[in-house]
Structure 1
């Protein structure tokens, strides 16, 4: 008897469950008629089209306030870092083994080949030394010439091994690019070796000077062919300096560029190690 009484109840529950998806008596699907579904879909279509339009309008207005060549906010990195080439903070090699120092020589040569050869530099201008090269009104910014020959003994022209074969290696130093930077004073690079007896060095260009004519930089899009000025340092090591790890620190001096921020060891300075094995 109990099982017979349960059958009508089960049929009612099954019918009620099916009607929640589609009710044949009222024509409702998921509790709504076709007209109700059409109205609610139309509402959401208009609502989301309105949101998309508002978003697009907001982005368009914001983009009108931006310059594609110059970032709006540039206060995060107001001063440049100093970079050493070859791209290593630990330069260790044997001067008697060409294969050992070859990666450093190739790194320097490949870097200079990218934009510092005379064939490239002939396209650029001989600018006035000691003066900023201002081009605020020019759409296409010109580039001041920096010949590879300015690096003299560290140019790779007279000595294709950049001094590594004689145990007196050259390193190249450059400032990171910062749009609009105009350093005050007369910036130059000065390097010191942390040891009791000082190590003699040669700087190219003369006195490690970074001329103002290479500033300001106007950005990657506006200043397409811009090449940074370089300072080459030749470490005049002697036999007594070989087989020792020497710590070399280079700083940008003579200007308002910061070089003593303890939170950033590369801001206006760089420290690297050199070890020459006979």
Structure 2
């Protein structure tokens, strides 16, 4: 049976535990009075408002230094990379099974929608072989030159809606990444090679696989809203000897000052992809 002293001690411990949250004698909550809590909350309110104000001020000053149309620094990527469509570095399909090559065909058709005549008629009929400079234009919105998908001929998807995949002679599209102000010297064109003993014949569209100068320079996404990158289509004329083999194809931008031999960047001015057609 508990003694009177044990009961008193237990009551005192319970009272002490409760007082740590709220002490009715002093009116303290968690060890602070109401005025103390009000002062500390006011301090943190002012402190965090000050931090938010400093952040907003620095962001406002930073935004004042930026241009909506041209990046402030453009020297980190002086030369463009080379990209391939369909967007895959491993193109493998069975030419006798439409379901196997359908994703590649659908991707190409979707990608070329912006190159339809209905879209490109809105753009300018520029002079081939000349840069389309618009620096003196007072308007920030720049005009774009036409690039109709019909110029890709057999790889346009117009005469052959399967882009050659159904007969084992597939088309791939190549484009250079956009770089504001780029004006390549010389006459850039695409040259592709297959790493095998016997060369594979290829057809390039437009003629000789050239990127015409009239599509340069590029003025940025906001200023050049209707701009589309020029394309080069490569049709691989594979034969029965090439079927059921994995072929490595390397395409490079030649004939200009654009770099294509940087070992630190495998996509700078070049791209390598593998293709395998199963008969």
116-125 or 234-243, which moves further after superposition?
234-243
TM-score calculated relative to the size of structure 1: 0.85
Pairs within 5 Å for 1:181-192? 181-192=182-193
| Distance 1:184-1:27 versus aligned 2 partners, 3 A rule | same
| Distance 1:235-1:13 versus aligned 2 partners, 3 A rule | closer
Tell me the distance in 2 between the aligned counterparts of 1:271 and 1:91: 11
* Structure 2 counterpart SS, 1:115: helix
Whether 1:152 aligns to 2:153 is yes
Whether 1:83 aligns to 2:83 is yes
Aligned residue in 2 for 1:254: 255
Tell me the distance in 1 between the aligned counterparts of 2:19 and 2:240: 97
Tell me the distance in 2 between the aligned counterparts of 1:103 and 1:35: 69
Pairs within 5 Å for 1:1-278? 3-112=3-112, 114-136=113-135, 137-278=138-279
Instruction: Measure how far apart 1:252 and its partner are.
Output: 0.7
| Distance 1:261-1:26 versus aligned 2 partners, 3 A rule | same
Per-residue CA deviation, residues 3-38 of structure 1 (Å, 9 max, x unaligned), is 444555555555444444444444443444333333
Tell me the distance in 1 between the aligned counterparts of 2:260 and 2:59: 39
Instruction: Measure how far apart 1:96 and its partner are.
Output: 4.8
* Structure 2 counterpart SS, 1:38: helix
Per-residue CA deviation, residues 192-222 of structure 1 (Å, 9 max, x unaligned), is 1122222222211111111222123233333
**RMSD over equivalenced CA pairs, Å:** 2.8
Instruction: Measure how far apart 1:232 and its partner are.
Output: 0.9
Instruction: Measure how far apart 1:132 and its partner are.
Output: 2.8
Instruction: Measure how far apart 1:104 and its partner are.
Output: 3.0
* Structure 2 counterpart SS, 1:182: coil
Tell me the distance in 1 between the aligned counterparts of 2:103 and 2:58: 51
- For structure 2, the residue ranges without an aligned partner over 5 or more in a row are none
Per-residue CA deviation, residues 239-261 of structure 1 (Å, 9 max, x unaligned), is 44344332211001122222122
Tell me the distance in 1 between the aligned counterparts of 2:7 and 2:167: 103
* Structure 1 counterpart SS, 2:248: strand
173-182 or 223-232, which moves further after superposition?
173-182
- For structure 1, the residue ranges without an aligned partner over 5 or more in a row are none
Tell me the distance in 1 between the aligned counterparts of 2:8 and 2:241: 106
Tell me the distance in 2 between the aligned counterparts of 1:95 and 1:46: 70
Tell me the distance in 1 between the aligned counterparts of 2:225 and 2:122: 13
* Structure 1 counterpart SS, 2:59: helix
Residues matched between the structures, number: 277
